[in-house]
Amino acid sequence: MDKEKIEPEVLQILGHIEKGENFLLSGGAGSGKTYSLVQVIKSVIEADPHSKVACMTYTNAAVREIESRVDHPNLLVSTIHDFLWGVIGKYQKELKKELINLLNSDHAGFKLPEAPVPNDYFDALEDGITYKEWTRLTLGEISHDEVLELANVMFKNYPLLCSILKDKFKYIFIDEYQDTSPLIVETLLIHLQQSLKKNVIGFFGDAMQSIYDEDGIGNLDEYLAAELVVEVQKKQNRRNPLAIITLANDLRTDGLEQEPSKDMKAPNMKDGVVKQGSIRFYHAASYDEDKIRAILGWDFENAEQTKALFLTHNLIAPKAGFVELMLIYDKDPIIGLKKDILNKIKDNNKRGVTNPVITEGMTFDQVVDLFQLKNIRRQLKKDIILSSVPDLYNQLKDLHWEVMRKIYIEKEELIDDKKQDAREEKKKGSKRDRLIRHLFKIEDTLHYYRKKNYREFLKRTEFRIRTNKDKVQLKNFIETLETMADASIEDVINYAAKTGVCVKDDHLDLFIENNSYLYGRVKQVKYGQFKALYQYLEGHTPFSTQHKTKGAEFENVLVVMDNGNWNDYNFEYLFTDRTDKESVLDRTQKIFYVCCTRAKENLVIFYIMPQDNIAVKEKIIKKAQQWFGVDNVIPLL
């Protein structure tokens, strides 16, 4: 490539590559990190045309985008899971040994009813260990989560495998590194050092956009400190107008300060000058959608141009048609009562108050009495709106407290991994629980059949088509499933399994066994509720939240903020400089950064202001004026 056309950051990277140094390209929102990645790939191929390059990314859509920009036989672009399986899948003897070791350990996710598992457990399998869209460990079928764990132990325990990988790929690049499992980073930067052969590992991403806290590594600070990787910062911003770049720099905590691109053709430039853009901060005691829409005058029907980001799915669920599922996963009254007890224990400990003694073998009902929560329990039993509440309490009241306290139902298990629109590809890996994942498999299978994408359909089904009669039978099965919106979720699961359209796997069976209360609630819900949820999460509705908006961009962005009554996020912390819970503040700041940097022209924040604490309200307004400007902080009466 002509060096005059190569970005200065890419030239720095190429210098590190020449020295054999692993590198990290850190770039803020809208900096063009994928463009830099493509330039690096093209440059190393041109300089070293006989060496192979591997590029790992999160989604199939990203794979196709990179492949469309670089067409070369020595480049392999794939999702992380597919890449790892492509390396380890051929070593069946070692795979079987390590999988058996994991099954005989206490490792979460690797459990079989029979234990210990003998060394020859998988020897009779005709195809050996196989990588599928589902997990059935008894048949040696593993999916995404197991591939990560197995690859990590394989590279750790077999140095020769490290040499084989280095021999095959002289360059390995990872896109969106912050969302990559720590296991992958450990494999690449620690385990591969067991081989004396040379290769270069490169990471591309942004630590401020690491909002999948439990799944991704977040940052490479540990490896930077150990000098296992060197950092190159990319400071330009090609997406956002100046007002939003300034705000984004105020929100960053990693020392990277963005500046407008010097490229006159950048999207945020007009007539040789960076666009100014607009940022406004409205606040009121409650959110009036009609009023705010009238004030803004935006076209909210154009979902590709304008986006309203709500901070809770509860506001969206009634509009989108999955309110029953949302109530189960986020508003279960019995789980709420358990949380009340745990919070009371925690509060007493903080205040130095002695908690009542919970003795071994106490039931949930006895602990409720012990903590004098009888009034709450009586209210539950009198609840008119949720007529099922008394029965729910009776299901769990005799459960031992130690068992009851471990029952958790979280909304992320229902609504994680939302697409912004129907064109977006889903990533592999999700916080959705195994029941919701299975229901997604059913809908995905139906989707691919409807679209006549039979290749993807056949990957997801056990139904085998050998004759025309089979085709007719399958068509009837699919048509029946399509009409079962008023049937229960359990009926649909059983029908799909019985017909072979979507089999039950180990994960679902284990989920049902270990989560009988949750499954008992969900299985009775009409399947139409899940179909509505599927439409929402797959990007077929105009609704969205800030959690899953990363990577998207819109002309106009409205962010509706409540007080953040969550365990992991609280916007009041952000606007009042609360530092007593740094992890909550860190996560909240990153989510807010991602929300603000989605806007290409106009950004509006609507803050639902607390009314019972004047001091907190004043702090919020002061911080908003600091970030948005005094004239841009506007009360709505």
Q: Output the pLDDT for position 2.
A: 58
Which residues, at least 6 apart from 192, have a Cβ–Cβ distance to it below 8 Å?
155, 162, 165, 166, 199, 201
Which residues, at least 6 apart from 325, have a Cβ–Cβ distance to it below 8 Å?
317, 414, 522, 525, 529, 530, 533
Which candidate, 28, 206, 36, 212, places its Cα nearest to that of 597?
A: 28
Q: Output the pLDDT for position 159.
A: 96
Residues 51 and 169 in one domain: yes
Strands (DSSP E) along 474-553, which ranges?
544-545
How far apart (Å, rounded) are the C-alpha atoms in residues 598 and 555?
Answer: 8
Can you say whether the dihedral through the CA atoms of 215, 221, 222, 226 is positive or negative? positive
Residues 534 and 550 in one domain: no
Residues 373 and 511 in one domain: no
**b/e map of 168-206 (b: 16 or more CB within 10 Å)?**
ebbbbbbbbbbbbbebbbbbbbebbeebeeebbbbbbbb
29 is in an annotated binding site: yes
34 is in an annotated binding site: yes
| DSSP-derived 3-state class of residue 118 | coil
How far apart (Å, rounded) are the C-alpha atoms in residues 637 and 635?
Answer: 6
Of 538, 565, 584, which closes a domain? 538
Residues 392 and 498 in one domain: no
Residues 132 and 178 in one domain: no
Number of domains present in the structure of the chain: 5
Residues composing the chain? 637
Which residues of the chain have a pLDDT value below 70?
1-4, 61, 212-214, 311-312, 315, 349-350, 372-390, 417-430, 541-543, 545-550, 563-567
Residues 126 and 167 in one domain: no
31 is in an annotated binding site: yes
Residues 449 and 592 in one domain: no
105 is in an annotated binding site: no
Which residues, at least 6 apart from 595, have a Cβ–Cβ distance to it below 8 Å?
309, 546, 549, 557, 559
pLDDT > 70: percent of the chain:
90
Give the count of alpha carbons within 13 A of 239, CB side only: 24
Residues 219 and 194 in one domain: yes
Answer yes or no: is 568 within a domain.
Answer: yes
- Which residue has tokens 């990533």? 427
Of 121, 147, 173, which closes a domain? 147
Can you say whether the dihedral through the CA atoms of 483, 487, 492, 498 is positive or negative? negative
Answer yes or no: is 324 within a domain.
Answer: no
How far apart (Å, rounded) are the C-alpha atoms in residues 325 and 322?
Answer: 6
In CATH, what number is assigned to the domain containing residue 559? 3.40.50
Residue type, 506: D
Answer yes or no: is 420 within a domain.
Answer: no
Q: Output the pLDDT for position 384.
A: 36
Segments forming the whole domain that contains residue 586: 259-319+543-635
Q: What is the pLDDT of residues 348-368, one digit of tens each?
A: 766 777 778 888 889 988 888
28 is in an annotated binding site: yes
Strands (DSSP E) along 439-593, which ranges?
544-545, 554-561
Q: Report in angstroms the alpha-carbon separations of 172 from 57, 176, 188.
A: 11, 13, 9
Answer yes or no: is 314 within a domain.
Answer: yes
564 is in an annotated binding site: no
Q: Which helix (H) or strand (E) holds 603?
A: strand 599-608
Parallel, antiparallel, or unpaired for β 269-270 and 273-274?
A: antiparallel
Residues 522 and 588 in one domain: no
**b/e map of 59-71 (b: 16 or more CB within 10 Å)?**
beebbebbeeebe
Q: Output the pLDDT for position 420.
A: 56
Residues 550 and 518 in one domain: no
Answer yes or no: is 413 within a domain.
Answer: no
**b/e map of 505-515 (b: 16 or more CB within 10 Å)?**
bbbbebbbeeb
The verdict on pTM exceeding 0.85 is no
Q: Output the pLDDT for position 201.
A: 98
Task: Enter the tokens of residue 243.
Answer: 């007002």
Answer yes or no: is 616 within a domain.
Answer: yes
Which candidate, 506, 30, 569, 81, places its Cα nearest to that of 312?
A: 569
Of 508, 538, 568, which closes a domain? 538
Cβ(482)–Cβ(421) under 8 Å?
no
Residues 124 and 176 in one domain: no
Phi, psi angles (nearest 5°) of residue 170: -75, -25
Answer yes or no: is 327 within a domain.
Answer: no
Residues 67 and 184 in one domain: yes
Task: Enter the tokens of residue 13.
Answer: 């990277």
Cβ(38)–Cβ(62) under 8 Å?
no
Which candidate, 437, 449, 441, 442, places its Cα nearest to that of 485?
A: 442
Task: Enter the tokens of residue 211.
Answer: 């909002």
Answer yes or no: is 100 within a domain.
Answer: yes
Task: Enter the tokens of residue 96.
Answer: 């079987």
Task: Enter the tokens of residue 24.
Answer: 């990290």
Cβ(249)–Cβ(609) under 8 Å?
no
Residue type, 625: Q
32 is in an annotated binding site: yes
